[in-house]
Chains A and B, each alone.
Chain A
Amino acid sequence: MRYDQYGKKPTEPGEPTEPTDPTDPTDPTEPSEPTDPSEPTEPAVRIRPDVWKLDPWDPTIEWYARAIAEMRTRSLDDPSGWRFQAAIHAYNRSGDPYAAPGDTLPSSGDQQRFWNQCQHSSWYFLPWHRMYLGHFEAIVAQTVEQLGGPSGWSLPYWNYSDDSNPDARRIPPAFREPTLPDGTTPNPLRVSQRVAAANSGGIVADPAEVDIVDALDETVFVGTAFGGTTGFGGPQTAFNHGGGPPGKLEMTPHGDVHVAVGGSFPPGFMSRFNTAGLDPLFWLHHANIDRMWSVWLARAPGNANPSENAWKQSPTFEFHDAAGQVVGMTSEEVVDSTSSPFFYRYEDESDPLATPAPSAAVAAAAAAAGEEVEMTQEPAEMVAASDEKTRLRGRAVTTRVAVESPIRTRRAPRGAAAAAPGPPQRIHLNLENIRGTHPVPHRVYIDLPEGADPDDHPERLAGTVSMFGLAEASGEDQEHPGSGLQYALDITRLVEALGEEWDPEELRVTLVPKQRPAEAPPGAEAAAAPAAEAAEHPTIEIGRISVYRTP
Chain B
Amino acid sequence: MVASGAGSTGTMVAGGGHAGHAGHAAHGPGDAGPLAVWPTLAHWQLMVVAMMFPLILQSVRTTAFRSFAARRHRAIGLFLLGHLLPWTLLGAVVAVVIPSRPTPLGVATAFAVAAVWQLTPTKRRALVACHRSQALAPRGWSADRDCALFGARIGTSCVMSCWALMLACTVAGHVLPVLLACGLLGAAERFSWRPRTRWLSGATAALGVVFAVGWPG
Contacts and interface: CB of A to CB of B under 8 A. Distances in A.
B117 to A, nearest CB: 15
Contacts of B135: 389, 432-433, 543-544
Interface string B45-74: 000000000000000011001111100000
Contacts of B131: 243, 481, 483
19 contacts: A238-B191, A240-B193, A241-B194, A244-B133, A315-B192, A381-B69, A382-B138, A433-B133, A476-B125, A478-B121, A478-B124, A478-B128, A481-B131, A481-B133, A482-B129, A483-B133, A543-B134, A544-B137, A546-B138
A112 B121 CA distance: 12
Interface of B: 61-62, 65-69, 121, 124-125, 128-139, 142, 191-194, 196-198
Contacts of A109: 198
B125 A385 contact: no
Contacts of B68: 382, 385, 404-405
Contact of A238 (B128, B136, B138, B192): B192
Contacts of A227: 65-66
A502 to B, nearest CB: 19
B197 A479 contact: no
Interface in A475-489: 476-483, 486
Contacts of A432: 66, 133, 135
A75 to B, nearest CB: 24
A55 interface: no
B129 A476 contact: yes
Nearest to B191: A238
B65 A482 contact: no
Contacts of B124: 478
Given A241-B193, A544-B135, 17 more contacts: A109-B198, A226-B65, A226-B66, A239-B192, A240-B193, A241-B194, A382-B65, A382-B66, A382-B67, A386-B138, A387-B138, A476-B125, A478-B125, A478-B128, A479-B128, A480-B128, A481-B130
Interface string A540-551: 000110100000
A418 B11 CA distance: 61
A119 to B, nearest CB: 10
Contacts of A380: 65
7 closest cross-chain pairs (CB), A and B: A543-B135, A226-B65, A385-B138, A481-B132, A544-B135, A433-B135, A483-B133
